[in-house]
Structure 1
Amino acid sequence: MKKYFFALLFIFMTFSGFSQTTFEYGLKGGINYSMGGEIRGSKSNANYWGETVQGVGGIGYHGGIFGQVNFGKFFIRPEVVYSSLTQEFEIPLREDNTEYSVQTFTIPLLLGYNIYGPLDVYAGPVYSNVLDAKIYGEQNDQLIVVQNTPINAQAGVKVEVGRFGIDVRYEHSLSTAERQDIDLDNNLFGGPNGGANKGWFNDARLNQVIVSIIFKIGGPGLNERRRRACY
């Protein structure tokens, strides 16, 4: 973690010497659509569920702060973001879906390029710290291991005019799948004579599409508006 911050500080100091360097900062927040996950039941006897289900995409939310160092048409954009991710599994013998929730604290470090006017593209690594991860009905209430590496990757596009902007990006997990035992509460998943019981979380990784609204607090061009045509 310390190495990450020192590297970030070095980048800021390196590019602060550019004659066209400008700095901006602000807030961001919005929604995220999660994808991924796989659960398999253990058919320990004839009454128990032993199939495999894939995760059904869910809508979560996020919020955080950003800074951006511009040098010419390029920029470096570090962010600090809290995210709440939600995924669902359609496990049989239950009327509603089973919720899988993950809370993360992430630090993206993005390198971008201004294509034209307000339109930018970017990509880069993301330091991802999982704060909490649980699946509803896991009777041992154990913490799910979502990832076995703290680094993910993001790529996206954003449009900014004046103080406001919109940002759309994709985050991909760089972890490998890690099989974990789970013990589902049979009272919630079927009953005493059968249903879902023990099983495995074959893949707890989540990828996501992230849509953010940007609000700049400081930086150049905050009050820019489109010029009216003169006749």
Structure 2
Amino acid sequence: MKKLMLLAFVLISANLSAQNASFGIKGGLNFGATGEYESVGDASGDFMSSFEDGESKTGFHAGLFAQFELLGIFIQPELMYTELNTSYSDFDYKLSKIDAPVLVGLNILGPLNIKAGPSFQYVLDNKIKGADLDIEDVEKEISMGYQLGAGLDLGRLGFDVRYEGAFTDNTAFGLGETAEENFSIDSRPSQWILSVSYAL
């Protein structure tokens, strides 16, 4: 599936020929969290369940973008590596993924623009840090979410602020040392993305 996503990105870039086309690199920080942590242990035959929302932490992203202007709007496919970190009361959760957003944007006032579109995600790895807990892979390695935001283009340099969310649950299950410590984490991202880009 990774090869399929990369091929789709290349085909989109190759087929969208226009007079105003640019390619470049970008990176920056993201601040957000994954979804709810649920303790799903069974103690003394009685089912016990508790829930906790994660605390947002800072991560980062880096990758490539292309931009094609067509009929007054632009299409911007990207291929990004992203690390998203979340803090729960007893541990930290780290999610590494490849993001492939395909955004449609509009220049609204001088260098200002707005953009939105789907974002395809491929989860590379998920880890528990700071606790002796084992976690399985997420249910869906590939899922789709969305990104929306605004940008500022100053010549070759660009600045973006976006929000990223997801459409469906994507749960990872984990095991503690005892049955009471079994748990699950909804690994859907909910984060703000701050980027700096440079057109080559």
Pair 99,80 (structure 1): closer, same or farther in 2 beyond 3 Å: same
Cα pair 2:117 2:148 within 8 Å, conserved: yes
Number of positions where the alignment pairs a residue of Structure 1 with one of Structure 2: 194
In the alignment, residue 124 of structure 2 is paired with which amino acid? L
Match of 1:182? Answer: 174
| Partner in structure 2 of residue 122 of structure 1 | 115
Which residue number in structure 2 is paired with residue 33 of structure 1? 31
Q: Contact 2:122–2:142 at 8 Å: present in 1 too?
A: no
2:100 maps to which residue? Answer: 107
Q: Which residue of 1 aligns with 2:22?
A: 24
Distance 1:8 1:153 in 2: 20
Q: Give the SS at the match of 2:11.
A: helix
Provide the TM-score with structure 2 as the length reference: 0.83
Measured after TM superposition, the shift of residue 122 of structure 1 is 0.9
How far has the Cα of 1:166 moved from its partner? 0.9
CA distance in 1, matches of 2:85, 2:75: 30
Are 2:135 and 2:173, in contact at CA under 8 Å, matched by a contact in 1? no
Residue 175 of structure 1 and its aligned partner are, at CA, apart by 2.0
- 1:123 partner SS: strand
Unaligned 5+ segments in structure 2 are: none
1:197 positional shift: 4.4
Q: Which of 210, 227, 230 matches 2:193?
A: 210
Alignment pair present for 1:153 and 2:146: yes
> Are the counterparts in 2 of residues 183 and 199 from structure 1 also a CA contact under 8 Å?
yes
Aligned to 1:68: 67
Comparing 151-160 with 36-45, greater Cα deviation is found at: 36-45
2: CA distance, partners of 1:10 / 1:165: 22
Q: Distance in 2 between matches of 1:146 and 1:88?
A: 21
Native 8 Å contact 2:165 2:188 kept in 1: no
Indicate the residue corresponding to 1:81 in structure 2.
80
What SS class does the counterpart of residue 20 from structure 2 fall into?
Answer: strand
C-alpha spacing 1:115/1:176, structure 2 compared with 1 (3 Å): same
- Measured in 2, the distance between the counterparts of 1:99 and 1:59 equals 12
Query: Which is richer in strand?
Result: 2
Offset from partner CA, 1:175-214 (integer Å, 9 cap, x none): 2254x5422247xxxxxxxxx9422215232221110011
CA contact (8 A) 1:38 1:203 kept: yes
CA distance in 1, matches of 2:162, 2:84: 15
Task: Provide the C-alpha distance between the structure 1 equivalents of 2:114 and 2:76, rounded to a whole number of angstroms.
Answer: 11
CA contact (8 A) 2:34 2:54 kept: yes
Q: Give distance in 2, aligned partners of 1:116 and 1:153.
A: 24
Render the CA deviation track for 1:38-96: whole Å, top value 9, x for unaligned.
22332515xxx9532111111100101111111242111111100011001014xxxxx
Asked if the contact 1:86–1:99 (Cα under 8 Å) also holds between the matched residues in 2, the reply is yes
Distance 1:70 1:28 in 2: 19
Q: CA separation in 2, counterparts of 1:149 and 1:156? A: 23
User: CA RMSD, aligned part only?
Assistant: 2.7
> How far did 1:113 drift?
0.8
Q: Matched residues, percent identical?
A: 30
- Structure number with greater Rg is 1
